Amino acid sequence: QVRLAESGGGLVQAGDSLRLTCAASGATMYAMGWFRQAPGKEREFVAMISYNNQNTYYADSVKGRFTISTDNAKNFLYLRMNSLKPEDTAVYYCAAGHYDTSPDMYNHWGQGTQVTVSS
């Protein structure tokens, strides 16, 4: 059984950094991803990492600012977010599933953690 739980969100100022953590169990054979959803908008892809940790891919909007990583045992998924912008404000979710940018390809989701970036 896959279980995912995010933490690390908060209120920061533009230009600050945050690291989100997703505690994962049962997800070693899955690709994992981070998605986000702002009020009134659809859930959107942020970053993903392949099941063997060898490949990563980022949305254009976060490329060069965000970094996705896991520990070797895949017990934790991280999202390091630098140079945060107000438009990064959203609920951030970790997910486990197929290596794909579509949220429909992920079967397992955490409960989400709020990130708010003030200008």
Q: Is the pLDDT of residue 74 over 90?
A: no
Measured CA to CA, the distance from residue 113 to residue 12 in angstroms comes to: 14
What pLDDT does 3 receive?
96
Question: What confidence category does residue 105 fall into, taking pLDDT thresholds of 50, 70 and 90?
Answer: very high
Cα 39 to Cα 43, 45, 92: the distances in Å are 10, 15, 12
In this structure, the dihedral spanned by the alpha carbons of residues 44, 35, 102 and 99, taken in order and rounded to 10 degrees, is 150
State the average pLDDT for the chain.
96
Give the whole-number percent of the chain exceeding pLDDT 90: 93
- Judge whether 43 and 35 are in contact, CB under 8 Å: yes
Which two structure tokens, joined as six digits, stand for 101?
């940018």
DSSP helix, strand, coil percent of the chain (3-state; round to 5) = 5, 50, 45
Measured CA to CA, the distance from residue 50 to residue 42 in angstroms comes to: 23
What pLDDT does 79 receive?
98
What pLDDT does 25 receive?
93
Measured CA to CA, the distance from residue 28 to residue 3 in angstroms comes to: 11
Question: What confidence category does residue 72 fall into, taking pLDDT thresholds of 50, 70 and 90?
Answer: confident
Residues 34-69: tens digit of each pLDDT = 999 999 999 999 999 999 999 999 999 999 999 999
